[in-house]
Structure 1
Amino acid sequence: MSTHKHFASRIARRFTKLMGGEAGAGVLLIAVAVGAMAIANSPWQHEYHAIFHHRLAWSPIGRLDTLHACINDGLMAIFFFVVGLEIKREVLDGELSSAARRRLPVVAAAAGMAVPALIYLLAAGDAQPMQRGWAIPAATDIAFAVGTLALLGKRVPPALRLFLLTVAIVDDLGAVAIIALFYTSGIDLAWALGAMAVLALLVAANRGGVDRAWVFVLLGVALWYCVLHSGIHATIAGVLLAFTIPLRLARGDSMLLRLEHALVPWNSYLIVPLFGFANAGVALAGIGPGALFSPVPLGVALGLFVGKQAGIFGAIVMADRSGFASRPAGASWPQLWGMSTLCGIGFTMSLFIGALAFPQSPLLVEEAKLGVLLGSLFSALLGYAILRLAKAPPAQESPR
């Protein structure tokens, strides 16, 4: 009996460790993706679709007339708000706060967005509707990638985790810019001007030293409502609001840090998993092996799996060899390759952009989801394997 108790307690400890922190968020996303795929290909597939896409009997906001819209246009604004807080903190007081620190992550992230987009466009060819998906493989999922990295524990040097996180944050900033510039159409000038007016009030509150979070929250809701009706995607309001939140440190604390710490668990364990469950379900009925070689799924999968690691790792090698920027201290070249491969996990942001890219073509959205899931899966498996087998550099080796 004692042996059984010892075994059970050991399993419980490992489960608790696995589900804690960054690793737990990654494991939860894997479970959500698998669950969504399973239900979307089960006898309950119609119910799954109906829950998210049938019109709600009543909604206080006309544009949020389905649960899917409430998640993608409403809850995901909070996700982007947290992303914006992370970006602002890193730029003002973190790894992006100086030119020397920004150099390598910015170059690596830029290459890691450009190469996947180019690969996708090569796969899409001249087909105009399909070309709109060029940005789908350009994004990295922070929670998924960092969570997979966390599963490796002490095998990964802290500098490598920090570098991946920094690259992913720069990547997110690029994805936000892409959404704002390339996936916005039919702007309503009156609502856009209203959003600008609210944004001006938020900036004034920041400059005026307002330290009441509820003021920013109320104005933030007004900003989101105006952006929602302006034609610009509503989630951009989350980023704009984040950029106005004060980071005036007092005894190591600030409004920005408090909000970020309060929202990160909700983001990781509720909002992102709910979004993944609502968007990752791909019905495979009627999709044969040949469909995988269609331009959209092939371009997305190759962009994430091949383009991300080629772009990021290639940029690191060239920057290091040319003397433009040194690679992260304490990380070997195989470890950097494995980290670059993990950046091919697109999931949340890629699924989000996929829905924006093909609003009038549900079939292309489903094909994009398939490409995202396959590219992310292969990137996670290969990246994990490389990092598990990779050895740390010799103690005497130092980055140039």
Structure 2
Amino acid sequence: MDLAFTPEEQKFREDIRAWVRENLPKDIAHKVHNSLHLTRDDMQRWAKILGKKGWLGYGWPKQFGGPGWNAVQKHLFEEETALAGAPRIVPFGPVMVAPVIMAFGNAEQHKRFLPGIASGEVWWSQGYSEPGAGSDLASLKTRAERRGDKYIVNGQKTWTTLGQYGEWIFCLVRTSTEGKPQTGISFLLIDMKSPGIQVRPIVMLDGGHEVNEVFFDNVEVPAENLVGEENKGWTYAKHLLSHERTNIADVNRAKRELERLKRIAKAEGVWEDIRFRDEIAKLEVNVVALEMLVLRVLSAEKSGKNSLDIAGLLKIRGSEIQQRYSELMMLAGGAFSVPFILEAMEAGWQGDFPGGAVGLAPLAATYFNLRKTTIYGGSNEVQRNIVAQTVLG
């Protein structure tokens, strides 16, 4: 197994790096490098820049308008954009629902939905979790009743990330109560402008509005918006979640944030503390190990072998690493990492004090926000059970 990049791959990396340096807006990169709040316009602006280049759907095959990159090229693209300070691509459209539409949708759905996702023009949201169905997603209760050429949807979704911006939402809905819970679930695409949909914000500790509740009250959805077959949605959801869990690992963002941690430690005078530096070294070892695991998967794909079935393992380690670097940043910043006044930060203040404390104000918000990573996308406890069954046997 060769984990080294070929000269051609190194050239590809350099080309990506040069393009990103030329096209990534400086104000957006500044916000990302310092964990400042990204507006809808910031995220959409970068998405449309990528869309114009044909790279928003960077994982798509050529037949659907993507660049047709292999696994290694996709990894290098993700790494170079992350290190440059590009926002993470909002995954719900190009990374999550698009592969489901490609694999299980019909030709009309390809034509209708994929162009708007590829261009960055249409903002998608995800309707999976419910108040009583999170990690146990098969317990979902949102109902979709078929009436002629439409479905009538009633129920509630929660923790809908950036749902306040959503124009379309892909939802798992219950269309049957026969048999096992997984067998009665279908996959619907719903226009969020439809009458009967209400989006209610969930405001977090830092005052931010990232997640939402979404209510469906007799929402009419054309039957043509059903992806694949009725009651086969669980199969499509598993296909989608394999993309999400790999995305959650986000080793490239971890590498960028590791360098930020080092900058903060040096600015705050704790870099010379041997014990603190030991903790940074342990984190760096874990980041490198996660990267090696990712590269092993890429090497297997490149050589035509069966890829390792370790999406759950990548999710577990990646999410734990995200939590650890946020903890160490908080420790390095000390008291200066706690203040968070949203209005002041929106006006440009970031906790820059004479003699130190460079850009520490968002650290508390980031720390609390990243508590979610070991829960969403399938909790780490559930993922450990899956890994034990599928990998360890």
Q: Give the TM-score taking structure 1 as reference length.
A: 0.25
TM-score where L is the length of structure 2: 0.26
